[in-house]
Structure 1
């Protein structure tokens, strides 16, 4: 439930002041016929050519928002064996360091909502959002469901970017 509140706040445009997830981590929450995804990444993953400082200021983030969003959208695919899953929304939020003299974006958090058929046991994720840094070659992924408190853990890497994400089965009350 906490993830949904955070996603709802960010989708409504309310500013977040803390890192929601460490960079190179993601959560997928399955609820009815939707998946709510939060994906945190280093800005270098989507910057492409960088200026002389190789950093991203909040102003540059705002100016480049559409291009960054397109890079992220093109760098990930959630699908079923018989076709793609419909992405309903994708929003980006910068996480800005206030401890430095010069503000820069330390992390980009992508929030997405996907529509899936009811009772789907799993989806596939093809993630190609990696930079050259050693810590940016792997994502830790946590999967949960509204019908089960259990969480499943996965990882994707530059060498193995596709993973099948299994939905934790509904708990049966005994």
Structure 2
């Protein structure tokens, strides 16, 4: 499969969409973010519009200001999903994965060279399958709790004609 060079225009558009989504999620104006990043509004507008190549320093400054995940912004570019950056802005999924990866690298060292890709794929798929199952179970538990609570409240409510 031929390798293609990154498309800076595509990356800029994806980054722009992700940054705007996070800024809106946080309820901030472009002017607010620019001031907190200690940069001119016009410079920030160029950054947010994705007019230049992705700038790691700006990404980290933006994420510090918005208390979001810089690794999620970079991950959003890599997987082509600006929504991913917004979805993981607060739970720090990508930062958590990067910390785990850093610890794994430190513990394994060169033994990583000997690991079979099938084992790595199975481990990653297993981790995400478990996260999906846990989320589904929590959703089901929440739904059951709400339904039971609503039934109880309705049973206690006076009915017309009592």
Q: Which structure has the bigger radius of gyration?
A: 2
Q: TM-score, normalised by structure 2?
A: 0.27
Answer 1 or 2: which has greater helix percent.
2
Q: TM-score, normalised by structure 1?
A: 0.26
If asked which structure has higher relative contact order (CA below 8 Å, sep 6+), I would say 1
